[in-house]
Amino acid sequence: MLTGTGTMKRALRSGDAALAIEARGLVKRFDDTLAVDGVDIAVPTGSIYGILGPNGAGKTTTLRMLLGIIDPDEGVRRVFGHDRPHEVSRLIGYLPEERGLYPAMKSDEAIAFMGALRGLPLDEGRRRGRDLLETHGLGHAIDRQIRQLSKGMAQTVQLLGTLVHQPRLVVFDEPFSGLDAINQGKLEVLIRDLAAKGTTVIFSTHVIAHAERLCEQIAIIAGGKVPFAGDVDTARDRIPAQVRLETRRGEGPWRAAIPADARHESKSGGGHFWSFPVPDAGIEAMLRPLIEGEAGILSLSIERAGLHDAFVAIAGEAAARELQQDKGEAPR
Amino acid sequence: MNAERLSIWQAAYVIARRDFFAILLSKAFLFFLLGPLFFGGISVAAGALGAKAASSAEPPRLAVAMSERDNAAFAETHRRLRDAVELPAIERLSVEEGGKPRALLADGTRNFGAVLTGTLASPELTGTPEQIGRWQGPVALVAAEAAGGDLLLPPVALVPTRSSSADTRSLRVGTATAGITLLFLLTMLLAGMVLSNLVEEKANKIIEILAAAIPMDAVFLGKLFAMLAISFVGIAVWGAVAAIVLALGAAAIPPLPAPAVGWPLFIALFVVYFSLAYLLIGSVFLTVGSMAATVRDVQTLSMPATILQLAVFFLATFAMTDTGSAIEILACVFPLSSPYAMVARAAQEPQLWTHGVALVWQVAWVAIFVRTGARLFRRRVMKSGPAAVSRKKPKRSPA
């Protein structure tokens, strides 16, 4: 649930200029399917915001409602303070999950057309399109039809079309899907560059690593609901930091200093691993009995929880499993 | 660039401009230009239909304008013989009325094929050469019988005229049939093309980009008007070709029967009614297309719309033979058939006020169709139900 609901209510009433997008209680049904069930989101201007969840969680439907592509059955949303996102269409760029361009159009025309949809004059769109294509290494494709381009090149053309009118808010729906590792890296750089110039970037993903590397704030969507929306650090802090301890001995009077529910693994070479949350009293009080009891400390570290662990804690094991299956990974 | 959005007309123009040039440079437009050849084939069949319609139109009558006594005897004999012999319907007129037979024949409201004057012993028949030639025998037979049956068939004096209102009416039915058929073929071609265009957008997954940037009403309007503009290009090309053909072979081509409102106004009305007919059926096709999830669905769902279009065509063709009847008025009022029925009216009836009313009526329905279509389009086209995991809405406990 969004923290600070009162703040949200005030923002929705006044149209908080610090928020690029604000939404409250968004609900969307498709016949008997409840796709989104009461989503609250507040995206600060100039931030990189991730919407995280497995496929079918409601990410795309939420984005479509935020952009005015579909209307919510319940709830309110504002983009730059406007109830109707189309009213600020010129400020928005959108790259949908299902990429598409007119196959017979030339690359620069396709970019110019996407700009024209957002109010950019065609001639200016063509000029900027050619410049963008040159800058992104596609100068040779300016006069080529989309059908003559590779899939990756066509994706780049569409991405440039999304940015040609220099929007203040860019929304990417699953932008990393279908890209190889090199192009994923380039896209991450591009997103950081956009944010550095003050552009608000929202993207949905089911790959936690992208969100962890890029986002300042995230919303976790699972089962059409948002169990968490806020800072990435706040999400990670939902799980206490973990103490990772390695000792030579496995038993002794010092054992009482280690929490009873600590995870314990015996190493084949004789060592022992211990893992447990940082005690409320800190670890200093625990160290003395270990040293005096000659536990044989081999290593000691305190590790902050990752976003994946936070996701599991917030959205549940089932959602995490779905997320990993979406990525083609075996559940951890 | 300021923060304002494009107006709906600006946005529609962006869509229309893209679609217009894309279609103009496509093979589909070539096929569209070849449409008249297709029309030529169809018109042979339509000609048969038109001839049937012309023959089923109210047959011309014989105006009987002799003395009162001769008129009564002629009418009584006509009543007696008409079951045994094929005779034209008659209407009795006074001698004074019959004094100006050419005026009677020119009166479009009375549908006279010929006027009979003189006496039973010496009848005189005024009309077009074809009509008086056809009716000469029956008139002589009835006159002989009416005179007592002792006379030989009296000689019928024939006074030929260039045309009669009945002839004109019959020919105008042909003009009306041609107008309706052309309207039907054009709208059918265009509706098919607009549907193909939508299928292309669905296949290319462009539609979400459009929906995100501009209101769906603008997408709708843009697509509709792009195709309309394409049709005007086609009509201009065909018109130029037709003008050249007419200029080169004017002598060899028989003169076309002039419609009741005259050629210039008829052509203007045809273009307007064509535009409205296309916008009505085009919005239906676009709406149908929006409800389909796949290309196959589009083809399946468009069938009822095609059948509706055919039904409208046949209704208008059937109704035009009986101007002013309940079925013809129904055809004029029903929004989808109204443009067809009014084209037929323009060919057959000279009144203009009915067109003013019909145009206002049809424009209102175009607005309703486009608005409703756009709303349904917006609601259905971006639906992503099947991909989502079914989650039944939990019942809320009463507050």
Range of the domain at A187: 1-80+168-239+305-332
Same domain, A232 and A312: yes
Same domain, A70 and A3: yes
Q: Mean pLDDT check: name the lowest of A48-62, A307-321, B324-338.
A: A307-321
Give the global pTM: 0.71
* pLDDT value, residue B289: 78
* pLDDT value, residue B398: 37
- Contact indicator for B218, B224 with CB cutoff of 8 Å: no
Same domain, A66 and A177: yes
Q: Which is it for strands A200-205 and A225-231: parallel, antiparallel or unpaired?
A: unpaired
Same domain, A73 and A183: yes
> From CA A216, how far away is CA A233, in angstroms rounded?
8
- The dihedrals phi and psi of A208, each to the nearest 5 degrees, come to -60, -35
Contacts of residue B213 in chain A, CB cutoff 8 Å? 86, 89, 92, 94, 114, 117-118
Report the mean per-residue pLDDT for chain A. 86
Shortest distance between the Cα of A196 and any Cα of chain B, in A, equals: 21
Three-class SS of chain A: CECCHHHHHHHHHHCCCCEEEEEEEEEEEECCEEEEEEEEEEEECCCEEEEECCCCCCHHHHHHHHHCCCCCCEEEEEECCECCHHHHHHHEEEECCCCCCCCCCEHHHHHHHHHHHCCCCHHHHHHHHHHHHHHCCCHHHCCCEHHHCCHHHHHHHHHHHHHCCCCCEEEEECCCCCCCHHHHHHHHHHHHHHHHCCCEEEEEECCHHHHHHHCCEEEEEECCEEEEEEEHHHHHCCCCCEEEEEECCCCCHHHHHCCCCCEEEECCCCCEEEEEECCCCCCHHHHHHHHHCCCCEEEEEEECCCHHHHHHHHHCHHHHHHHHHHHCCCCC
Checking if the pLDDT of B332 tops 70, the result is: yes
The residue written with tokens 């670890």 in the block is A283
* pLDDT value, residue A306: 84
A299 assigned to some structural domain: yes
What does the pLDDT look like over B61-83, one tens digit per residue? 888 888 888 888 889 888 888 88
Preferred mutation among A29, A32, A74, A86 to probe B, highest tally of B CBs within 10 A: A86
Interface pTM, i.e. ipTM: 0.79
Same domain, A186 and A272: no
A93 assigned to some structural domain: no
Cβ within 8 Å of residue A123, ≥6 positions away? A112
Q: Given A30, A89, A223, which is nearest B6 (Cβ)?
A: A89
Q: What confidence category does residue A5 fall into, taking pLDDT thresholds of 50, 70 and 90?
A: very low
* pLDDT value, residue A321: 63
A4 assigned to some structural domain: yes
> From CA B277, how far away is CA B312, in angstroms rounded?
11
> From CA B22, how far away is CA A102, in angstroms rounded?
9
Between A313 and A158, where is the model more confident? A158
Same domain, A289 and A210: no
Structure tokens at A239: 């799980």
A221 assigned to some structural domain: yes
What does the pLDDT look like over A245-289, one tens digit per residue? 999 988 888 988 898 888 899 888 778 999 888 888 888 888 888
B298, exposed or middle or buried, with CB in 10 Å at 0-12, 13-18, 19+? Answer: buried
User: Could B5 and A90 be called an inter-chain contact, meaning their C-beta atoms sit closer than 8 Å?
Assistant: yes
Shortest distance between the Cα of A41 and any Cα of chain B, in A, equals: 19
Shortest distance between the Cα of B213 and any Cα of chain A, in A, equals: 6
> From CA B247, how far away is CA B244, in angstroms rounded?
5
What does the pLDDT look like over B247-305, one tens digit per residue? 777 666 665 667 878 888 888 899 899 999 999 888 888 888 777 766 677 778 778 88
Q: What confidence category does residue B166 fall into, taking pLDDT thresholds of 50, 70 and 90?
A: low
Q: What confidence category does residue A23 fall into, taking pLDDT thresholds of 50, 70 and 90?
A: very high
Same domain, A70 and A7: yes
- Contact indicator for B164, B127 with CB cutoff of 8 Å: yes
A18 assigned to some structural domain: yes
> Closest Cα to residue A310, out of A242, A244, A216, A234?
A234
What does the pLDDT look like over B11-69, one tens digit per residue? 999 999 999 998 888 887 888 888 766 666 665 565 555 555 555 556 788 888 888 88
Helices A151-163 and A107-117, packing angle to 10 deg? 30
Q: Given A35, A69, A119, which is nearest B1 (Cβ)?
A: A119
A135 assigned to some structural domain: no
Tell me the CATH architecture of domain B61-163: 3-Layer(aba) Sandwich (3.40)
Cβ within 8 Å of residue B207, ≥6 positions away? A100, B201, B219, B381, B382
CB atoms within 10 A of CB B172: 24
Q: Mean pLDDT check: name the lowest of A22-26, A120-124, A140-144, B143-147.
A: B143-147
Shortest distance between the Cα of B164 and any Cα of chain A, in A, equals: 58
Give the mean model confidence (pLDDT) for residues A91-101. Answer: 90
* pLDDT value, residue A10: 44
Q: Given A90, A94, A116, which is nearest B212 (Cβ)?
A: A94
Structure tokens at B103: 């005026």
Q: Which CA distances in Å does A294 have to A65, A253, A300, B178?
A: 61, 9, 15, 108
* Four-residue CA torsion sign, A275, A277, A283, A285: negative
> From CA A234, how far away is CA A212, in angstroms rounded?
12
Contacts of residue A80 in chain B, CB cutoff 8 Å? 3
Same domain, A182 and A296: no
What does the pLDDT look like over A164-210, one tens digit per residue? 999 999 999 999 988 888 889 999 999 999 999 999 999 998 888 89
* pLDDT value, residue A74: 94
Task: Domain count for chain A, please give it.
Answer: 2
* pLDDT value, residue A62: 93
> From CA A124, how far away is CA A127, in angstroms rounded?
5
Strands (E), chain B: 61-64, 90-92, 112-118, 123-127, 157-160
User: Could A34 and B391 be called an inter-chain contact, meaning their C-beta atoms sit closer than 8 Å?
Assistant: yes
> From CA A25, how far away is CA A222, in angstroms rounded?
15
Percent of chain B residues past pLDDT 90, beyond the cut: 12
Question: Which helix (H) or strand (E) is B327 found in, with range?
Answer: helix B326-333
Query: Residues 131-190, chain A: which have Cβ within 8 Å of B?
Result: 165-166
Same domain, A69 and A27: yes
User: Could B390 and A69 be called an inter-chain contact, meaning their C-beta atoms sit closer than 8 Å?
Assistant: no
Query: Residues 49-108, chain A: which have Cβ within 8 Å of B?
Result: 55-56, 58, 60-61, 64, 67-70, 80, 86-92, 94, 96, 98-104
- The dihedrals phi and psi of B42, each to the nearest 5 degrees, come to -65, -35
- Contact indicator for B110, B104 with CB cutoff of 8 Å: yes
Same domain, A172 and A287: no
What does the pLDDT look like over B181-214, one tens digit per residue? 888 888 888 887 887 777 777 777 788 899 899 9
Q: Given B1, B214, B393, which is nearest A86 (Cβ)?
A: B214
* Four-residue CA torsion sign, A286, A290, A295, A299: positive
Domain ranges in chain B?
8-55+167-247+256-383, 61-163
Between B375 and B294, where is the model more confident? B375
Checking if the pLDDT of A114 tops 90, the result is: yes
Cβ within 8 Å of residue A201, ≥6 positions away? A47, A48, A49, A169, A170, A172, A191, A194, A195
A285 assigned to some structural domain: yes
| Residue A323's CATH number | 3.40.50.300
Same domain, A299 and A201: no
What does the pLDDT look like over B211-246, one tens digit per residue? 899 988 888 889 888 988 998 898 888 888 878 887
* pLDDT value, residue A215: 94
- The dihedrals phi and psi of A17, each to the nearest 5 degrees, come to -65, -20
Q: Does A110 touch chain B (CB under 8 A)?
A: no
Same domain, A217 and A263: no
Checking if the pLDDT of B164 tops 80, the result is: no
> Closest Cα to residue B197, out of B225, B169, B166, B155?
B225
> From CA A18, how far away is CA B284, in angstroms rounded?
44
> Closest Cα to residue A201, out of A50, A69, A67?
A50
